[in-house]
Amino acid sequence: MRVFALTGAGVSAESGLSTFRDAGGAWTRLDFRDVATPEGFARDPERVHAFYNARRANLAKVEPNAAHRALGALQQELGVRGGRLYLCTQNVDELHERGGAAEVVHMHGELRRVRCQACGWADLWSGDLSTAITCPRCGRAGGLRPDVVWFGETPLFMEEIWEAVAGSDLFVAIGTSGAVYPAAGLVEVARRARVRTCEINLQPSDNAERFDERLYGPATEVVPAWVARLLA
């Protein structure tokens, strides 16, 4: 069986990482235009660095939860059985990897990576970023930015992702509000390819009616139970 899983902030919520649009979420406290757009970065780079520095530092304090671990186990087990779990996440944390997934496609980039806007150099980065830090390759200061996708930028690996959705037997969206495209449009790609669709979320998402099956409750409970049923 070939499964495509799209995950969002809800899968990491019970690890202690806040979501974006729920009560208390990042976009209820902050204007995303200030901290998650190229224009916001050009206007006030230190403010943007502070937002991502805090989130990067917070990663050291959180652990993967039962939903991450169940998806890691599903990827391993489907591989053994000659199938596949294509695990595609909008999350910039690395909790899927720490939960045992060997292959994760980060369509919105990764907090633990850095990129130089001046020369394109990119690598892992664990400390804070600031405009004073120089690029290890080109030596310029001010060009380093988190290697994440901001609003107005194109998400990564889209051709490969569309192909993987269409080539699956089952598409499952987990812990995502369905508010941000192109991720929110993947369920339509699945439907057009006659792939069965399933939504797992705390409550019906913006796209709920597009799914054949809908399972509601905390990801740490619903995902392990769903994985167990799938593998039974």
Known catalytic residues? 108
Choice from 98, 218, 225, 230 touching ligand OAD (CB under 6 A): 218
92 vs 135 by CB, closer to ligand OAD:
92
Answer yes or no whether residue 115 interacts with ligand OAD by CB under 6 A.
no
- Mask 168-207, x = binds ligand OAD (CB under 6 A)? -------xxx-xx--------------------xxx-x--
Total residues at interface with ligand OAD (CB under 6 A): 28
Contact 109, 93 (CB under 8 A): no
The three-state secondary structure class of 106 is: strand
- Mask 42-81, x = binds ligand OAD (CB under 6 A)? ----------------------------------------
How large is the C-alpha radius of gyration of the chain? 18
CA 212 to chain centroid: 23
DSSP 73: H
Reading the block at residue 86, the tokens are 């294509």
Reading the block at residue 200, the tokens are 């797992």
Q: Least distance to ligand OAD from the beta carbon of 89, Å?
A: 8
Choice from 102, 134, 151, 167 touching ligand OAD (CB under 6 A): 151
> Taking CB positions, which residue lies at the least distance from ligand OAD?
10
Q: What is the rounded distance in angstroms from the CA atom of residue 89 to the CA atom of residue 183?
A: 9
Choice from 5, 9, 70, 95 touching ligand OAD (CB under 6 A): 9
Answer yes or no whether residue 25 interacts with ligand OAD by CB under 6 A.
yes
Contacts of residue 71, defined as CB under 8 A and 6 or more positions apart, other chains included, come to 5, 7, 11, 85, 87, 96, 99, 101, 174, 223, 227
Question: Concatenated DSSP letters for 161-202?
Answer: HHHHHHT-SEEEEES--S-STTGGGHHHHHHHTT-EEEEEES
Choice from 3, 4, 5, 10 touching ligand OAD (CB under 6 A): 10
Contact 47, 73 (CB under 8 A): no
Answer yes or no whether residue 219 interacts with ligand OAD by CB under 6 A.
yes
Q: Least distance to ligand OAD from the beta carbon of 173, Å?
A: 9
Q: Least distance to ligand OAD from the beta carbon of 138, Å?
A: 26
* Separation in Å, CA 145 to CA 94, 111, 149, 172, 220: 18, 10, 11, 32, 33
Query: Which residues make up the interface to ligand OAD (CB under 6 A)?
Result: 8-10, 13-14, 19-22, 25, 32, 36, 90, 108, 149-151, 175-177, 179-180, 201-203, 205, 218-219
